[in-house]
Amino acid sequence: MRRAGFAITAAAAGAFVLAFAAAASADEGGQAVAVAAVRFVDGVPARPSVADRLDAIRRRIQEALVYPPLARLDGVEGETLVYFDVGRDGHAVAVAVAASSGVPSLDRAALRAVRRAAPMPWVHGRLAVPVRFSLRGGP
């Protein structure tokens, strides 16, 4: 009688892949033999989606934002678009202003907020994130 076999191999990411090699089973009299059903369960936990990680990055930056006191007194609001990469350690790398708010103190505060927001979830590639300065309490 032939039996189903199992093999465990290490994948590149360090996870295990369970390969199931099934063979037709028959007993010595040529009768078909039922093979128990096999249920596969993913042993690697699901990670947050890219959209969820980008939302977390935006939230952390806004939470790290310190409104410049003089800009607050003058009632200045605006938005600075900041470019950066997230390093494997979760820190912002190559932080730069992509589009100025038109107010240098807001732009500098936006750059500081991006640097302070670490650790951020890792995302591959260069990001462009708007940093909003609003005195109305909303984002």
User: Higher-confidence residue: 6 or 87?
Assistant: 87
pTM for the model: 0.65
Tell which residue, 8, 33, 34, has the closest CA to residue 21: 8
Report pLDDT digits (tens) over 89-118. Answer: 999 999 999 999 999 999 999 999 999 999
- Mean pLDDT confidence for 2-19: 41
Instruction: Please give the pLDDT value at position 138.
Output: 54
Average pLDDT, the chain: 80
- Tell me 89's DSSP state: T
| pLDDT above 90 as % of the chain | 60
Question: Does the pLDDT value for residue 48 go beyond 90?
Answer: no
Question: Does the pLDDT value for residue 131 go beyond 80?
Answer: yes
Instruction: Please give the pLDDT value at position 61.
Output: 96
Question: Does the pLDDT value for residue 42 go beyond 90?
Answer: no
| 92 CB burial (10 A radius; 0-12, 13-18, 19+) | buried
Q: Where do the domains of the chain lie, and which CATH numbers do they carry?
A: 1-46 (no CATH), 50-133 (3.30.1150.10)
Question: Does the pLDDT value for residue 17 go beyond 60?
Answer: no
Spatial distance between the Cα atoms of 88 and 101, rounded to a whole number of angstroms = 29
Q: What is the DSSP string of 44-79?
A: SPPPPPHHHHHHHHHHHHHHH----HHHHHTT--EE
Tell which residue, 34, 32, 6, 10, has the closest CA to residue 21: 6
Is residue 129 within 8 A of residue 117, CB to CB? The reply is no
Identity of residue 38: V
Q: Residue 19 in 3-state DSSP?
A: strand
Is residue 35 within 8 A of residue 23, CB to CB? The reply is no
Instruction: Please give the pLDDT value at position 125.
Output: 92
